[in-house]
Structure 1
Amino acid sequence: MNRRRSTPWIHRWSRILIAAIASVGALTTGYLTVVKLTLSSAACPTNSCDLVLSSPYATVFGLPLALFGFLAYASMAIFALAPLAVNPSQSKDTRTKLENWTWLLLLAGAIAMSVFSGYLMYLLFFKIKSLCLYCLASAIFSTSLLVLTMIGRTWEDIGQIFFTAIVVGMVTLIGTLGVYANVNNPSANTGSNTASLEPTGQPTLGVGWPITTTSGEAEIQLARHLTKIGAKEYIAWWCPHCHEQKQLFGKEAYQEIKHIECDPQGKDARPDLCKAAGIQGFPTWEINGKLYPNVQALEKLAQISGYQGPRNFKNFPGAFK
């Protein structure tokens, strides 16, 4: 009992606190992963969250960056809770070894996540130049995990912390710079079209990003058909997924589309119509009285609208890979 009382409270609760913070981080990054994969808009008090999620920095190896964050946070939670699942009275040696190994894994993981989060903050403020509350929260979570890992136990060899920090930090930083070395470098993507579905740079206030793709005859005919049957597209000028939909049609065809701007700051905005239609995300199509949220492939728009014209669409996601 005396030994337990002399143990600092932070040492007794550090693993629980680490697991709790890591779990919140996993929920946050898991949500962002779903948003990215489903082409939805993030629930965020500012428009910047969607701008950050649509940036080229938000995708790594063809997968959402948030997915890797989710795996990292989930691993930290597992490392923190693993020794607690072992009964010390039945297998004291096993639990001691597991505690030592998991503390090293927690330290290495927290250092790597903090270094990576620091680089993401640099990108956020100096490259993307947008404020994402989820990104800031993740950076705070990573820093908190590092602090709790360092003070959450008695480290017999302080030099071990510095050595691990230097090695893991350098490896993480070099790896991060390597992963993002070719972002926004067109010459690195040999054989790719110069156009891209995803927006680059900052949008023009109230208008959005310029359409950089051109239209084929099939895109133009589909756009005219949609307008003829009274189809409407509800958009927001700052929405990156709305820009992706524009890129699919191309500059010439999209001029034929009847789109309704829902953000009051947008050009020719009609937020009253958006509210009356019950629009909750962008883009959302209204075709024959039914709502179809998210980016729609041109083939699907042709199918649900009863389009009978040519379907040799030149713009589709696979055309830009």
Structure 2
Amino acid sequence: MPADLKKNSKLGKVDLLIIAISILGMVIMAYLTYLKFTSGKSSFCDFGEGVSCSAVNQSVYSTFFGIPVAILGFLYFAAVSGIIFNGVAGAYPLILLMTVASLVFSLYLSYAEVFLLKTVCVLCETSKVLMVLIGGLAFWKTRSVKVKIMTNWLVGAILVGVLGIGLSYFTQKGFTPTKNYDDFARCLTEKGWTEYGTFWCPNCGRQKLMFGDSFQYLEYVECDPRGDNPQTDRCLIRDIEKTPTWIRESEDNSTELERQIGVQSLEKLSELSGCPLPE
């Protein structure tokens, strides 16, 4: 029997299960990577404003020092399958530590989804479930071969994950507002400015982040029928081709007075509307 077949024949059922889970994870991450580099397109897992793979995967929180998190996830799953397939010494405790560090880091991403973006990526969360399964199987195999898991190893893995969270936070904190823009947003609405967008549009997400919680005071029109309170007819009447599109309308919304396409800085919106920014 060839040497490579002998090596493969040593793989147990748990090993094959870990490899299968890893391959599924690689497929998910490959799709999310594709989605990251094809901005402006909707995903099959965009179910509404609160559940959108596109909105999350194309947001500022989906990169780590410019590297898409999906690519890092792909490398994790590829490493796990490679370690098992090649019978690397100490494979199970190594995979367990890798998984602990990755899961700790992923907590920040889940936090960003729920509390900052206010939408959930189903595929992103599915990948974390796969990681939990891999970590659980690795832990079970580690115990079954009677390898002692050193506490300092686990603490080190947790600290690596925490370090990743800290680095992500400091590189992305500039995208979250530090001032209250309630009055500014209300003023824009009073002056007749309306933002037309879609819930999955990455640039719409960036525009929304600029306002933070004050976004609720803007006049916003959802153009995707799957979004919350869609007004597709209004978007068709205004011939919206790209999002976000800012339009200044007459008081009864019957006449378009001015149009700006794309993400607008708060300074530009202030200049266009005459609404003062907070000091």
If the length of structure 1 is used for normalisation, what is the TM-score? 0.52
Cα distance, 1:241 vs. partner?
Answer: 4.4
Letter paired with 1:23: I
Query: Residue 22 of structure 1 contacts residue 76 of structure 1 at CA under 8 Å; is this kept in 2?
Result: yes
Aligned runs of 1:60-209 on 2, under 5 Å?
Answer: 60-83=64-87, 98=88, 100-153=89-142, 154-160=144-150, 162-185=151-174
Task: Determine helix, strand or coil for the equivalent of 2:170.
Answer: coil
Aligned runs of 1:287-306 on 2, under 5 Å?
Answer: none
Q: Distance in 1 between matches of 2:224 and 2:113?
A: 26
Identical-pair percentage: 23
* Deviations 1:64-93 (CA, angstroms, capped at 9, x unpaired): 21111111111111111112xxxxxxxxxx
Measured on the aligned residues, the alpha-carbon RMSD in Å equals 3.8
Partner of 2:31: 31
Cα distance, 1:113 vs. partner?
Answer: 1.9
Partner of 1:21: 21
* Deviations 1:137-196 (CA, angstroms, capped at 9, x unpaired): 011011111100000242434342x33211111122122212222313269xxxxxxxxx
Aligned length: 200
Q: Distance in 2 between matches of 1:104 and 1:159?
A: 7
Structure with max Cα Rg = 1
Partner of 2:213: none
Partner of 2:268: none
Cα distance, 1:210 vs. partner?
Answer: 6.9
* Deviations 1:2-45 (CA, angstroms, capped at 9, x unpaired): xxxxxxxxx93221111111111111011010011111322115
Q: Distance in 2 between matches of 1:176 and 1:270?
A: 41
Where does the alignment leave 5 or more consecutive residues of structure 2 unmatched?
1-10, 177-192, 208-221, 245-261, 264-279
Partner of 2:200: 239
- Taking a change above 3 Å as real, the CA distance of residues 269 and 76 of structure 1, as seen in their structure-2 partners, is farther
Task: Determine helix, strand or coil for the equivalent of 2:172.
Answer: coil
Task: Determine helix, strand or coil for the equivalent of 1:269.
Answer: helix
- Taking a change above 3 Å as real, the CA distance of residues 263 and 124 of structure 1, as seen in their structure-2 partners, is same
Query: Residue 236 of structure 1 contacts residue 266 of structure 1 at CA under 8 Å; is this kept in 2?
Result: no
Q: Distance in 2 between matches of 1:272 and 1:210?
A: 15
Q: Distance in 1 between matches of 2:175 and 2:199?
A: 24
Query: Residue 103 of structure 2 contacts residue 131 of structure 2 at CA under 8 Å; is this kept in 1?
Result: yes
Q: Distance in 2 between matches of 1:152 and 1:38?
A: 40
Cα distance, 1:129 vs. partner?
Answer: 2.1
Task: Determine helix, strand or coil for the equivalent of 1:120.
Answer: helix
Task: Determine helix, strand or coil for the equivalent of 1:158.
Answer: coil
Q: Distance in 1 between matches of 2:21 and 2:90?
A: 20
* Deviations 1:96-140 (CA, angstroms, capped at 9, x unpaired): xx3x33234312212122212233222222332212211210110
Q: Distance in 1 between matches of 2:118 and 2:78?
A: 29
- Taking a change above 3 Å as real, the CA distance of residues 108 and 269 of structure 1, as seen in their structure-2 partners, is same
Structure 2 residue 252 is matched with structure 1 residue 263: no
Identify the structure with the greater strand proportion. Answer: 2
Q: Distance in 1 between matches of 2:73 and 2:130?
A: 11
Query: Residue 25 of structure 1 contacts residue 73 of structure 1 at CA under 8 Å; is this kept in 2?
Result: yes
Task: Determine helix, strand or coil for the equivalent of 1:143.
Answer: helix
Structure 2 residue 45 is matched with structure 1 residue 44: yes
Query: Residue 263 of structure 1 contacts residue 271 of structure 1 at CA under 8 Å; is this kept in 2?
Result: no
Q: Distance in 2 between matches of 1:178 and 1:62?
A: 12
Q: Distance in 2 between matches of 1:139 and 1:116?
A: 11
If the length of structure 2 is used for normalisation, what is the TM-score? 0.59
Query: Residue 56 of structure 1 contacts residue 184 of structure 1 at CA under 8 Å; is this kept in 2?
Result: no
- Taking a change above 3 Å as real, the CA distance of residues 78 and 140 of structure 1, as seen in their structure-2 partners, is same
Q: Distance in 2 between matches of 1:243 and 1:54?
A: 10
